[in-house]
Amino acid sequence: MSITKEWTDKWGFHCMVYKHEDGGFLCGYVGLPCEHPMYEKDYSQCLEGCTGVTETRFKRERTTWDCTHGFEGKRPHKSPEQVLDCHGGITYSGRGVPGQKEELWYLGFDCAHLGDTTKYIFDPDTTYKTEAYVVNEIEQLLKQVQEFVLSAPQTSQEPVTEQQS
């Protein structure tokens, strides 16, 4: 993977567009600081404190969340992939993509879904998602990430604040 665009937004979030070399499609990433409520949360992890159950299938670990509060009229399951809307949904959380800042936790998405052109999909009904498209998706994701901070219950952590230019 190689970075095609990288910037820091007005709130101080680190943003990157990557090109997946094997598939030829683009991915978008937003780095969250430790003060953010989604910091070090798996993209499928319930943000309401439910217990995760990790199991191994096909030599890969996967965690599912026992969201008992989502039943019987209680609050629904609330995870980054469910509360954030971007192209194809959030498909990545963590550290490990080259160029990422070690102190940040990244949420990301890719443009290799049904309807997307990739190196291996040449269907006339698909479209290639350009860098401009991915940047726009990242900007929309940034607004949601910041709105989530502003709507989250106050904790002992300092809120993420807008940086002065």
Mind listing the pLDDT tens digit for each residue in 52-106?
A: 667 776 666 666 655 555 555 555 667 787 788 899 889 999 988 888 899 999 9
pTM score: 0.77
Mean pLDDT of the chain: 80
Helices vs strands, H then E, count in the chain = 2, 7
Structurally, how many domains does the chain consist of?
2
In a domain, 28, yes or no: yes
List of E strands, the chain: 2-8, 14-19, 26-32, 51-57, 60-66, 92-94, 105-110
Neighbours of 158 (CB within 10 A): 9
Domain of residue 125 covers 2-42+84-151
Alpha helices by DSSP H, the chain? 80-83, 131-151
pLDDT tens profile 6-32:
999 888 899 999 998 888 899 999 999
Q: Are residues 134 and 90 in the same domain?
A: yes
| Residue in the structure block whose two tokens are 């999909």 | 121
